[in-house]
Amino acid sequence: MKSKNTGTTDLRAFMARVAEKGKQPEPTSATPSSNESQMQLVIFEGQSGSETHTIPPEPERAPHTEAPIAEDDDESMALDESDSSDEDIYNIELDPGLRTPISSYDVNDQDSVRRAYIALGRCKPKMQKKDFPQHDCGGKRRFQPVWFDEYKWLEYSLDKDAAYCFFCYLFKDSTKFAGGDSFVNGGFRNWNMKARFRKHVGEVNSAHCEAEEKYNLFIKPKASIREAIASQTTQYKAEYLARLKWSLECIKFILHQGLAFRGHDEGKDSKNKGNFRELLQWLEGNFEEINKVVLGNAQQNCQMIDHKIQKQLIGSCAHETTKFVIEELGDECFAILADESSDAYQQEQLALCLRFVNKIGEPVERFLGLAQVADTTSLTLKEAIQTLLMKYQLPISKVRGQGYDGASNMKGHVNGLKKLIMEDSPSAYYVHCFAHQLQLTLVAVAKENIDCKWFFGHLAYLLNVLGMSCKKIRMLRVAQAEYMIEALKLGEIEAGQGLNQEMGLAWPGDARWGSHYETVMHVMSLYPSIRKVLFRLGRESNSVKALGAQTMLEVFKSFEFVFMLHLMNEIFGYTSDLSNALQKRDQDIVNAVDLLEFTRYNCKF
Give the range with max mean pLDDT: 116-120, 299-303, 497-501, 579-583. 116-120
Of 307-321, 372-386, 431-445, 563-577, the range with the lowest mean pLDDT is 431-445
Question: Which residues does 486 contact at the CB level (< 8 Å), separation at least 6?
Answer: none
Percent of the chain with pLDDT over 70: 76
**Rounded to whole angstroms, how far apart are CA atoms 198 and 127?**
24
Domain positions in the chain = 67-219, 232-314, 332-432, 437-602
Give the pLDDT confidence of 299-349 residue by residue, as tens digits.
777 777 788 888 888 888 888 888 888 888 888 889 988 888 777 777 888
- Span 17-41, mean pLDDT? 42
CA–CA separation, 163 vs 183, rounded Å? Answer: 6
pLDDT beyond 50 at 248: yes
With a CB cutoff of 8 Å and minimum separation 6, the contacts of 286 are none
pLDDT exceeding 90 applies to what percent of the chain?
1
Mean pLDDT across the stretch 171-191?
A: 73
Instruction: Give the HSE-up count for residue 328: Cα atoms under 13 Å, Cβ half-sphere.
Output: 21
pLDDT at 39 over 50: no
DSSP element (H, E) containing 435: helix 434-448
d(CA 348, CA 370): 10
* 83-99 per-position pLDDT tens digit: 434 344 446 788 888 88
Region 529-542: mean pLDDT is 79
- Provide the pLDDT for residue 172: 80
pLDDT band for position 500 (cuts 50, 70, 90): low
> Is the confidence at residue 541, as pLDDT, over 60?
yes
Cβ neighbours of residue 130 closer than 8 Å, sequence gap 6 or more? none
pLDDT band at 506 (very low <50, low <70, confident <90, very high): low
Sheet arrangement for strand 334-342: 363-372, 348-357, 334-342, 399-403, 429-430
Q: Is 241 in contact with 198 (CB distance < 8 Å)? A: no
pLDDT in tens, 409-430: 777 777 888 888 888 888 888 8
Q: Tell me, letter by letter, the H, E, C secondary structure of 376-418.
A: CCHHHHHHHHHHHHHHCCCCHHHEEEEECCCCHHHHCCCCCHH
Least confident of 150-159, 164-173, 433-442: 433-442
CB-based contact 493:561 (threshold 8 Å) = no
Q: Kindly indicate the confidence band of residue 70, based on its pLDDT and cuts at 50, 70 and 90.
A: very low
- How far apart, in Å, are the Cα atoms of 270 and each of 57, 264, 305, 363, 405? 35, 9, 15, 48, 47
Looking at residue 72, its pLDDT comes to 41
Residue 29's CB is within 10 A of a number of other CB atoms, namely: 8
* Residue 76 pLDDT greater than 50, yes or no: no
Count the alpha carbons within 13 Å of 380 in the hemisphere toward its beta carbon: 13
Q: Are 3 and 113 in contact (CB under 8 A)?
A: yes
pLDDT per residue as tens digits for the range 188-221: 888 888 888 888 888 888 888 888 888 888 887 5
| pLDDT given for residue 281 in this prediction | 83
pLDDT surpassing 80 at residue 368: yes
Q: What is the mean pLDDT of residues 455-482?
A: 79
Answer for the pair 404, 410: CB distance below 8 angstroms, yes or no.
yes
Q: Of all helices (H) and strands (E), which one includes residue 471?
A: helix 470-490
The lowest-confidence range among 191-200, 477-486, 490-499, 565-574 is 490-499
pLDDT band for position 512 (50/70/90)? Answer: low
Total residue length of the chain: 605
The answer to whether residue 492 scores a pLDDT higher than 70 is: no
Mean per-residue pLDDT of the chain: 75
Rounded Cα distance between 57 and 34, Å, is: 16
Mean pLDDT of 17-37: 43
The span from the first CA to the last CA of the chain, in angstroms, equals: 62
SS (H, E, C) 320-386: HHHHHHHHHHCCCCEEEEEEEEECCCCCEEEEEEEEEECCCCCEEEEEEEEEECCCCCHHHHHHHHH
Phi and psi at 55, nearest 5°, equal -115, 160
Please answer whether residues 76 and 393 qualify as being in contact, where contact means their C-beta atoms are separated by less than 8 angstroms.
yes
Positive or negative torsion for Cα 408, 412, 416, 418:
positive
Question: What percentage of the chain's residues is helix, strand, coil (to nearest 5)?
Answer: 50, 10, 40
* Per-residue pLDDT at 26 exceeds 50: no
HSE-CB of 431 using CA atoms within 13 angstroms: 16
Name which CATH class applies to 332-432.
alpha beta
Band (pLDDT 50/70/90 cuts) for residue 494 is low
Mean pLDDT calculated for residue range 134-159? 87
Three-state secondary structure string covering 148-208: HHHCCCEEEECCCCEEEEHHHHHHHHHCCCCCCCCCCCCCECCCCCCHHHHHHHCCCCCHH
Degrees, nearest 5: CA angle 171-176-180: 75
For the purposes of burial, counting CB atoms within 10 Å of the CB of 165, is it exposed (0-12), middle (13-18) or buried (19 or more)? buried
- The residue that leads in pLDDT, 103 or 498, is 103
Question: What does the alpha-carbon distance between residue 355 and residue 567 come to, in Å, rounded to a whole number?
Answer: 39
Specify the pLDDT at position 49: 40
Banded model confidence at residue 520, pLDDT cuts 50, 70, 90: confident
Question: Could you write out the DSSP letters of every residue in 523-592?
Answer: HHHTHHHHHHHHHHHHHH-SSHHHHHHHHHHHHHHSHHHHHHHHHHHHHHHHHHHHHHHHT-TT--HHHH
The Cα–Cα gap between 534 and 549 comes to 5
Model pLDDT for residues 222-235, shown as the tens digit of each residue? 555 555 556 567 77
The pLDDT of residue 75? 40
